[in-house]
Structure 1
Amino acid sequence: MTEPQRLLLVHAHPDDETITTGGTIAHYVRAGAEVTVLTCSLGEEGEVIGETWADLVVDRADQLGGYRILELHRALAALGCNPPRFLGGAGRWRDSGMAGTSAARKPRAFVNADRDEALGALVTVIRELRPQVVVGYDPEGGYGHPDHQQVHSLVTEAVEVCGTEVYPDAGATWEVSKFYWTVTGHDQLQSGLAAIDELPAGWRLPVDGELPSVPESTITTSIDIRGVLDAKREALRAHATQVTVAPSGNEYALSNDIAQPILLDEQYVLVRGEPGGDATGRETDLFAGVLGCASHH
């Protein structure tokens, strides 16, 4: 009997799941897969766009994290996904902010998490959900945020140990078939930026190298999300304290007002497991080559 496809995506803050993998989430939900987003902090240290929720920030009411739980629920609902899960429970670890800030020195900051506790919590989730495919970040964490780098480190180790007898209290062992990093390819980013013809007032285009990307040669896998772009746009709009979608629907910006294209493919690097599909080109399915898995593509 074939098992359903099960996909686990581990993200640092609410909105990361939609920005980098929102189309992938919607795509696999529609394909009948069991998709779970595990978020590691509440994004308490974020800036806020506009005046409506401006007083929620850390040095005022410090209520932004709780509000971002709501945004994450709305975004995942827009993608058709299960409600969010939080590593260690909602609020267990706090957004660490950028490196060198006072936020990173707070005892509850995610970068200061007890390694054994955080790893054990992640292994427990993997063994419970039994995903064949896990998605995390590359070593840079995309754009160098310490929480993203912490996710990279923890997920990499958790995928390695969840099939072993380490953490015997964390449930029955489970071997992950494929582990990916979510990335943005240089060429795709450049062509997306080149296609932008007009920007909302106050926005600007990024200067060269300002947005993170990886060399095309490193990308192993590309998921076509054209069929679910409306869901991704709706999910981006759900993160309204953090993200503004341009009227065109083709770009978005964070609080820095730097335009970023909403790309038509979401790209990945396979770092564990065997690539499936055509050896000459990129994979087009995260589950390609996973045995005993019901395929809906």
Structure 2
Amino acid sequence: MSGARILFSFAHPDDESFTGAGVACQCAAAGAELALVTATRGQAGKVGDPPVCTRDELPATRERELRAAAEILDIRQVHVLDYKDKALAEAAPDRIRTDLVSVLRAFRPHIVVTFDPNGLNQHPDHIAISRFTSDAIAAAADGRWASDGQPHRVDRLLWTPSVPPWELARQADLALHPGIDFVFDIEPWRERKVAALRAHRTQHLAIDRLWFSQDDVERLLSVEAYRQAWGPALTEVPMRELPLAAYE
């Protein structure tokens, strides 16, 4: 069994289910320990139609949904920060760096997963968390940076690809796509990805539109992919699973 520790760093509740639900299940099944940090509570999201909650109740409701999804995916540690949804880029850099460095030094992940610098779909919050995560990884390894815990160096940083997750399985040449370094067959965990997506009840309109209303939904829910930002050289491209054996 692997002793790898993997941290997912995203902007909103539901990002983890969109981009890495199957990978999380695959890695947990191999023995990896998983953690998630989410920078906002999704305060600017939808409340559902019919409403699942009031607008005032939305942040707490979305946090509960996030924790329910994480439990489905065997993500054992969940850190929810409270930065402003749709304004994450305006967060004070020193403050969010400190928050993320604390998580990195406490959990001490070997692998970190976040959005690519273009935010996958150009969402400003996705772009911001990508930048803040990369900054925090560098700071966490620097003993001069004052924060809780001892310095820690991450082995590998992975990004979501530029292809939206609900489109990946439609790319016939996905394995040939430059910037696709990992292609995962997540069919064995498809039902758990469905359950994790369904856990985000307030966001059912977008989830239904992007996933469950599609004619080829089973195929769309069977593939996930990542790009390696940096880390040890890969033995092949694309790889079909994360290199967890190094941590056994």
Pick aligned residue for 1:267 from 196, 221, 225 = 225
Paired position in structure 2 for 1:36: 35
Structure 1 segment 146-295 matched on structure 2, within 5 A: 146-183=124-161, 185=163, 189=167, 192=170, 216-243=177-204, 252-253=208-209, 261=217, 262-278=220-236, 281-287=237-243, 291=246, 293-294=247-248
> Once the 2 structures are TM-superposed, how far is the Cα of residue 170 of structure 1 from its aligned partner?
2.9
Q: Using the alignment, how far apart are the partners of 2:164 and 2:51 within structure 1?
A: 36
Q: Using the alignment, how far apart are the partners of 1:38 and 1:81 within structure 2?
A: 11
Paired position in structure 2 for 1:47: 46
1:204-228 alpha-carbon deviations (Å, 9 max, x no partner): xxxxxxxxx9x81111112221111
Q: Using the alignment, how far apart are the partners of 2:144 and 2:136 within structure 1?
A: 10
Gaps of 5+ in 1: 97-103, 105-109, 195-212, 246-250
Larger radius of gyration: 1
- 2:25 partner letter: A
Pick aligned residue for 1:139 from 94, 105, 117 = 117
Q: Using the alignment, how far apart are the partners of 2:119 and 2:126 within structure 1?
A: 4
1:42-76 alpha-carbon deviations (Å, 9 max, x no partner): 001012332132x523xxxx221110011111111
Q: Using the alignment, how far apart are the partners of 1:243 and 1:188 within structure 2?
A: 15
Q: Using the alignment, how far apart are the partners of 1:193 and 1:253 within structure 2?
A: 19
Cα distance change on mapping 1:235 and 1:188 into 2, 3 Å: closer
Paired position in structure 1 for 2:80: 86
Pick aligned residue for 2:54 from 53, 56, 59 = 56
> Once the 2 structures are TM-superposed, how far is the Cα of residue 83 of structure 1 from its aligned partner?
4.7
1:202-254 alpha-carbon deviations (Å, 9 max, x no partner): xxxxxxxxxxx9x8111111222111111111111111111369xxxxx8425
Cα distance change on mapping 1:226 and 1:190 into 2, 3 Å: closer
> Once the 2 structures are TM-superposed, how far is the Cα of residue 287 of structure 1 from its aligned partner?
2.7
Paired position in structure 2 for 1:71: 65
Give the TM-score of the pair, scaled to structure 1: 0.73
Gaps of 5+ in 2: none
- 2:79 partner letter: R
Q: Using the alignment, how far apart are the partners of 1:187 and 1:131 within structure 2?
A: 24
When the two chains are superposed, the root-mean-square deviation of aligned CA atoms in Å is 3.0
1:157-190 alpha-carbon deviations (Å, 9 max, x no partner): 1122221123233321111110000125489927
Maintained 8 Å contact 2:141/2:151: yes
1:106-135 alpha-carbon deviations (Å, 9 max, x no partner): xxxx22211011011111111111100000
Instruction: Tell me which of the two structures has the higher relative contact order, counting C-alpha pairs closer than 8 angstroms and 6 or more residues apart.
Output: 2
- 2:225 partner letter: Q
Maintained 8 Å contact 1:10/1:38: yes
Provide the identity percentage.
Answer: 28
Cα distance change on mapping 1:218 and 1:169 into 2, 3 Å: closer
Maintained 8 Å contact 1:45/1:95: yes
- 1:221 partner letter: F
Q: Using the alignment, how far apart are the partners of 1:93 and 1:46 within structure 2?
A: 14
Deviating above 6 A after TM superposition, structure 1's stretches of 4 or more consecutive aligned residues are: 257-260
Maintained 8 Å contact 1:77/1:83: no
- 2:243 partner letter: F
- 1:163 partner letter: A
Cα distance change on mapping 1:146 and 1:285 into 2, 3 Å: same
Cα distance change on mapping 1:193 and 1:240 into 2, 3 Å: farther
Q: Using the alignment, how far apart are the partners of 1:81 and 1:282 within structure 2?
A: 25
Greater shift in the superposed pair: 154-163 or 132-141: 154-163
Give the TM-score of the pair, scaled to structure 2: 0.87
Maintained 8 Å contact 1:183/1:268: yes
Whose helix proportion is higher, 1 or 2? 2
